[in-house]
Every structure is written in C-alpha cells, then in structure tokens.
Amino acid sequence: MKYKITRRDFLNGVAVTAGASLLASKKVLAQSDPSTAATYYPPSLTGMRGNHPGSFEVMHGLAWGGQKPEQHHELDEHYDLVVVGAGVSGLAAARFYQKRMGPEAKILLLDNHDDFGGHAKRNEFEHAGYMRLGIGGSVNLDGPSDYSMISKNLLDDIGVDLDAMRADMGEFDFLGADADSMFALPGPDGHVKVRGSWIRLMLGIGDYPSAIRALPLPVSEQDRVIELISGDRDYLEELSLAEKSAYVESTSYLEFLTQRVGLSTDTISIFYPFPKLMFGPAATRISILEAFYLGSPGIRSMSWLGDLLAQLLDSAVSGLESLYFPDGNASVARLLVHKLIPGVAPDSVGFEDIALSRFDYSALDLEQQSVRLRLNSTVVGVRETAGETVDVDYVRDGKPLRVSGDHCVLACYNAAIPYLCPQLPQHQKEALDYGVKVPLVWVNVLLGDGQAFSKLGVGRVNCPDDPFVVVTVPPATKTGGNRPPDGPEEPMVVFMMGVPSVDPEDGEKSREILRRSRHQVYGTPFETYERQVRDQLQALLGEYGFRHERDIQAITVNRWAHGYAYEYMQLDDPQWEAGQAPHEIGRAQFGRISIANSDSEAHAYLDSAIDAAWRAVAQQVRS
C-alpha cells in the first residue's frame, strides 16, 4: 500500500488516498511457537510479527560484525534454480522459471522468515467461531489496469479475476475522496474528533472553514490553515513563473508551511498522515510538488501555476483504482505458492476460496516435489563456482548448510546483497546500498465486537499526533470466499498504521533519517507497541463504552524495519540519466546470479516486484 508516485513518473497515477484491507480467518489469540510440523501455522501467530525474532539476527551478525560460519554442511541437493527470498518477487520468479523450463524444473526457495510472502504477510484470527483476517504489510493491487502485460499475465495465470474483485467490493469506497473520515487530535479533555470528507476539505472542497474551526488549534493557526486551503493568498507572489516552478521542486513542504505560510510545527502535523504512509519518517523531506501530488493543501495558493498543477493532479488521479483481497496481497503470495506446490492445499480451488483455505506448511518442503519452499533459512553466502554452478550457504536452526543450483535469483532486499555476494564489483555494491527501505509498523487488533467503533460513524481516523497515524477498518470485500462482519455485534479487526518518529537533525537527508528510524523499529519491544495501541484506541473509543482490557482480544504487530522500497525524492536524489540510477546499476546480472525485488525497480508496488522477477529469470534462461 503506497502511493504510485515516483521521480520518474509523477503523472502515472498518484493515489491521494491510502489503504488497508483485512478480514476473515482461522486461529490464535496468543503468541506461540509451533513445536511440530502438524501444528506449524505461522499466519495464526500474534505478538511481534513482520521482522519477527529469529528472522534477522543471523543477517545482522553478518552485516554488522562479519560473523559467518567457517564451514557449511553440504547437502546432497542440487537445483535448476535457487531463489533467495519467498516474497512476491521470489515466488513470481519461481513461477516464471517453472513456466519457461517446464513442471519438472527443480526449484528451491529459501526465506529467513517463518512464513512466506515477505511484506505480503497474512495475519489470522479466530474468535467466538468467526474467522477474521488481517494484513501484515503489502495491502492492495494499485491501479491493476495499468500493470504491464507481464504482471497482468501472472495474475491471470494464478487465477486472479479483477472483475470479480470489483464486484466483491460493491460500492465500497475504501478511503476514497468522497468518503467521510475523521481527524482525532489530543485536546484538554481527551481526543477531539472532527468528522468530514477530509481529503476533499484539504483541497478546498466543501465547508472546510467550519471543519478547521472545530480542530483544537489556536485561532491564529486556524486562520492560517483556512487561508492556505482557500487559495486567497499567493505565497509566492514576488516570484516569476519560472522561479515559482523551481521553488516548488527544490523546497520542502515543511519549509513552505513554516516560513511562507507561518504555521507552527505543532500545527503542520495535520498535513502529514498520508505523506508519512508513503515516505515514512522521511516525510519531512518531501518537496512542495510531491506534497501537492499527495493531495496536501496549498496548490491553490500558487496563482495560475497552482491552477496548472491542479489540472495535472486531477488528470493523474482520475480513474485510479485499488483492489483488495481480505488479507491484502498475502492472497497473491498464497495463490503463487498453491500454483507451485498444489499439495499445500489440495482441496482449494484457488482464487474463489483462497481467503478461507488453510495451508499445510508441512507440505512446503518435501523431497519428492519439483518445487520446495524452505522457511527459517537465512542465506549468508551466494557465489559462482568453477564448475559453472552457484553455491548457496544458509543457516537454519543454528546449522550452517549448503545447496547448489545452476542459477540463482536474489529476491531479498538490495542492501543485504553485498554481504551475500562480496565478489560483486564495488560500484555495484555501492549502488545496491544506496536506497534505504522505509520502516513502517502495521498493527492488526482483534476486537470482540464492533459496537464502539461503529459509533464513530467513519471507517478511517487520521491521528497525526499519535503513534499510529491512521486507524481504519478493512474494505468489506467478499473476494476469496471471505465473509465480512454482518454487523457491529460481530468480532472485527482494526488496522493501525504506524510510522517511527525521529526528529530530523540539521542537514540530515531522507536516507539518513530512514536509517536512524530503522533502529528505532528494531529497538522497540512488543510491550511498548501494545501499550501504544491500547492507549490510542481507548482515547478514540472510550466515550462509546470501549474498554481495552475487555474488548481487545489479540494484537499482531507487523514491524518492518526494512519496509517499502526507497523511491527517489526531489530534494535528496539527483535526476540520473537513463540506466545510471542506483537501482539500475545495482540490479545488473552477475553471471548465474540475478536480482529481483521492488528495490531493483525503485518502486514499492506489487507489479514492480513481479516485473523484476520476470527480468531476473529472463537473464538466467538466456545465459
């Protein structure tokens, strides 16, 4: 779930709305470690998920301390293709290779997590006989009509019916521009909540003066916000058109709001929930132009340059579409796994019942299968051998092991690759290390019923001064056999989107901010996140009879210290010549080793991961 906006393609679809979906599932209300293959079912684990304990320690030892086993036990396993990473890109690479080379092609996927899907992680809950699903990371199909034929064909291959998804959502306008939402800001007597179509109000559509007056801001600050939204004042009137154009591309939105508009730093947080969901802690580094493309106010205050920008924005967002599975893009990952290894759910039809299908994880890594998926396996070394094969070293359950393959696709994130392949050229290592993934925290909260939340009267709450900047309910999709709640008396899932908060230091660039905030995500224990969740929901829902100690049944925290792929930013990244951007240099084929991930596209979307997988496989089958 990220806005489709990049330096390379501002006008190729800009989402001024953010999204999340969830709903429907199986079992678990407490963190537990499965002890046998028969009970191993990671989607049902609660507590700390995402980059969960056990998924990163081996890699950190390698990257931070150069710790690596001196010897690896060589298994009697050789594959046509070894894929490092079982997220959407890795799974897609396996499927592309299988289709190209035939069903007998031997493929091994290795992943450091205890579940497949990468950011497309599935969270399941069961309560009072009801199944509910949550989203662990990757949320939606963003603009699927604009996908490449490669991505469209893969979705078709795994049975995704886009028309059925549209019909399953009905008239539901999830976080759409016409949907009512709410701002919740701390006030003297608890949160002050103001309802309205805030996306439209921030653009000067509707009775925005009354809405702004209702916010707990000083009157002088309200006056300035209303003036900004109205467009009655040209804040750049002394500049020529060329100077204005240069200014909006070279100045941060933060500087514009504080120095030109005169707002206090305490006020401007109301403009940042959506930018934070795209750029995370680096949202303070977005340019004015980037902010406008995200639907932030002020575009009308640029004289006729603002009119031109408004027309471009309207053209960019017209026809945008987001489609949702009830467990986010985890359903895409599950459909890929089911296609590669049908035995995980032999009775599943596929797309029609994927939301309800329970996978047998003991069937993922069977010797007799042509495709095997091995979890809890952290790769620590990948290198070509003199015998024209690739050795892949990994650690599983503390044991250093080795397999080999004719080809290898690295579908992990870019910054890890220089440590896995130290033989890469230095310029390629530096390019791979350039982008810093955006850290985020996605939380699913199972409530015993939806009575209190329904009294808010909205599906989304913007909480710019709270740990979780957006609190939302899932879209009521029936895709995959899901049954959304029929009413507020049934259990429900609340999705909370959190962004680590760090105070930018003088002169600090976006990538430096992201690196510092990454450590904050790793260093925050589950107990802290739980306290934040309980405090925030109590503040939002307490007046409606909500009691967190009674009504919260389970909490799943999906922390992603390495979250969205880094997308180049106007203020901090050059405009490279074609083929010279870090992601393009970094993804160069290295003999029998190729790279597939959204990092290699500098674009944090599902179709980017799929397109990258196609490119990596095409490189190897030509070799």
What's the pLDDT band for 30 if we cut at 50, 70, 90? very low
Looking at residues 541-570, what average pLDDT do you find?
96
Round to whole Å and give the CA distance between 406 and 620: 9
Round to whole Å and give the CA distance between 280 and 618: 33
In 21-89, beta strands by DSSP E: 47-50, 73-84
Residue 623 pLDDT: 59
Coil/strand/helix, residue 322? strand
Round to whole Å and give the CA distance between 257 and 198: 19
Residue 616 pLDDT: 98
The 10 Å Cβ neighbour count of residue 365 is 17
- The pTM (predicted TM-score) of the whole model is 0.91
CA distances from 281 to 237, 303, 458, 512, 536 (A): 31, 31, 27, 10, 20
Residue 436 pLDDT: 97
Torsion of Cα atoms, 61 then 66 then 68 then 71, to 10°: -170
Residue 247 pLDDT: 93
> Which is more confidently placed, 27 or 439?
439
Q: Which residues pair with 155 in a beta bridge?
A: none
Coil/strand/helix, residue 55? coil
Angle of helix 606-622 relative to helix 88-101, nearest 10 degrees, comes to 40
Residue 24 has pLDDT above 90, yes or no: no
Three-point CA angle 278, 282, 288, nearest 5°: 75
Residue 427 falls in which region: left (phi positive, over 0), alpha (psi -120 to 50) or beta:
alpha
φ and ψ of 258, to 5 deg: -85, -40
What's the pLDDT band for 593 if we cut at 50, 70, 90? very high
CA distances from 145 to 169, 175, 350, 351, 352 (A): 17, 19, 22, 19, 21
Contact 238, 279 (CB under 8 A): no
Contacts of 550 (CB under 8 A, 6+ apart): 448
Round to whole Å and give the CA distance between 376 and 40: 12
> Which is more confidently placed, 174 or 565?
565
φ and ψ of 406, to 5 deg: -70, -30
Residue 19 pLDDT: 27
| Nearest by Cα to 600 from 406, 328, 416, 424 | 416
Contact 497, 558 (CB under 8 A): no
Q: Sign of dihedral through CA atoms 285, 288, 293, 297?
A: positive
Residue 204 pLDDT: 86
Residue 187 pLDDT: 83
Please, what is the average pLDDT of the chain?
89
Residue 17 pLDDT: 25
Residue 22 pLDDT: 25
The 10 Å Cβ neighbour count of residue 104 is 8
- Percent of the chain whose predicted confidence (pLDDT) is above 90: 78
What's the pLDDT band for 223 if we cut at 50, 70, 90? very high
pLDDT tens sequence across 102-129: 999 999 999 999 999 999 999 999 999 9
The 10 Å Cβ neighbour count of residue 408 is 31
- Say how far residue 530 (Cα) sits from the centre of its chain: 21
What is the SS3 string spanning 75-135?
EEEEEEEEEECCEHHHHHHHHHHHHHHCCCCCEEEECCCCCCECCCCEEEEEECCEEEEEE
Supply 586's token pair: 């970094």
Looking at residues 5-34, what average pLDDT do you find?
30
Q: How does DSSP classify residue 565?
A: P
Residue 322 pLDDT: 87
Looking at residues 270-295, what average pLDDT do you find?
92
pLDDT tens sequence across 156-175: 999 999 999 999 986 544 44
Residue 2 has pLDDT above 50, yes or no: no
Residue 23 pLDDT: 25
Q: Which residues pair with 74 in a beta bridge?
A: 402
Residue 3 has pLDDT above 80, yes or no: no
pLDDT tens sequence across 499-527: 998 888 888 999 999 999 999 999 999 99
| Nearest by Cα to 5 from 270, 334, 312 | 312
pLDDT tens sequence across 435-492: 999 999 999 999 999 999 999 999 899 999 999 999 998 778 999 999 999 999 999 9
